[in-house]
Each structure stands twice: as structure tokens, then as C-alpha cells.
Structure 1
Amino acid sequence: ILVTTYTCHRLYLSPPILVTVYTCHRLYLSPSILVTTYTCHRLYLSPSVLVTVYTGHHLYLSPSILVTICTCHRLYLSPPILVTIYTCHRLYLSPPILVTVYTCHHLYL
């Protein structure tokens, strides 16, 4: 059993610039069970520029059962520009059963 928790790193480079990086939280409950939760990475480069990247959540419930949920990636480059990319959701319920759901890709330019 391994429980690893990474806290955030905040860098104040100047009064208008804040860089905040949230790293992942990993929970190893057993050799066959892996629960990995990646939190978001937020970069505040300026008051008008925000870059946010949400990574996926991986749940390994057993060697034959894999539930993978990839969350969206959102890039806020400026107030009028939003780039959002939604990745797929994959559910391996058993070796012969694969359920894959691909969501849409939204580009707000």
C-alpha cells in the first residue's frame, strides 16, 4: 500500500504573474489495484491569461478490469479565447468487452 500525495507549487514571479502547478495524487492500494487521480495544472501567467490543463483519472480495479476516464483539457489563453479538448472514456469491463466513448472536441477561438 503506497499513498503518495503531491501538493501544489506556487511561484510568484512578479505581482501580476502567478504560476500555480497542481501535481497528481497517486494511491496504490494493492499490486493489482491502482487508483491514480491527476488533478489540474493551473498556470496564471497574467491576470488576463489563464492556462488550465485537466488530465485524466485512471482507475485500475483489477488486471482484467480497467476503467479509464480522461477528462477534458481546457486552455484559457485569454478572455475571448477558449480551447477545450475532450478526450475519450474507455471502459474495459472484461477482456472480451470494450466500451469506448469518444466525446466531442470543442474549439472556442
Structure 2
Amino acid sequence: MYRQTVVALPAAVTEDEDVREWLEENAERWSHALDLEVLHIDPRTNLIGHDIDLVTVDDGQVNVQYTVEYYIYYGCRDIDGGGYDHRDISGEVVNGTIVFQTFEQPEPLAPDEEL
């Protein structure tokens, strides 16, 4: 499953390099396009944060690589866990906007529903 997120670009941002710079400098304006869901890792998982690793724009095609940091609480310090999940989203510059295609995690099913 994918969801579409449309992000408006300022009128002065038209070239690939300008789009890349704008994305890097204004992450808070488009970070809602990222998949920050972590419950598919484990139902006890909590999101700590995310970092944008790499933004590329080539001939109007946008690719963003990012890392999601998470923590899993099992109720005991010696078995609690956490980690990093590397993800990416892609999009396309269309008429002054970027249309991102973001993967959405499917809803978890009960064991008897998975069969």
C-alpha cells in the first residue's frame, strides 16, 4: 500500500539542484511524507526520531533516504532493545509540487486472520 503526499514548492524553486537544496533545508515542511511507523517491528516499539541521510533529485525524480531510530520496551532493562531502520521514499516534481509515494505498513492481523 502506498499513500500520496503532495508538497508545494516555492515559485523560485524550479531546477533539480534548487529542489534538492530546498528539501535539505526545509525538512519540517515535508517530513509528514515519511513513513515513521514502527509498530510492525514489534507492538512495543516506540519511535525515538528520524534523520534524513541523503536527498537526490535527478530529472525531476526525487529520492530521500532516511533512518528511523526506535526503542522497544520489554519491561526489563537487560532485554529492552532498539535500533535503526533505513528507509527511502521517492517522488516526482510536477507543476511546482513534489508528489511523494510513501509505503504504508499494513494493519497488523490477529494470528487466526493471517491464515
TM interval, short-chain normalised: 0.3 to 0.5
Task: State the TM-score, normalized to the length of structure 2.
Answer: 0.32
Where is the strand percentage greater, Structure 1 or Structure 2? 1
Where is the helix percentage greater, Structure 1 or Structure 2? 2
Task: State the TM-score, normalized to the length of structure 1.
Answer: 0.33
Which has the higher relative contact order, 1 or 2, with Cα contacts under 8 A spaced 6 or more apart?
Answer: 2
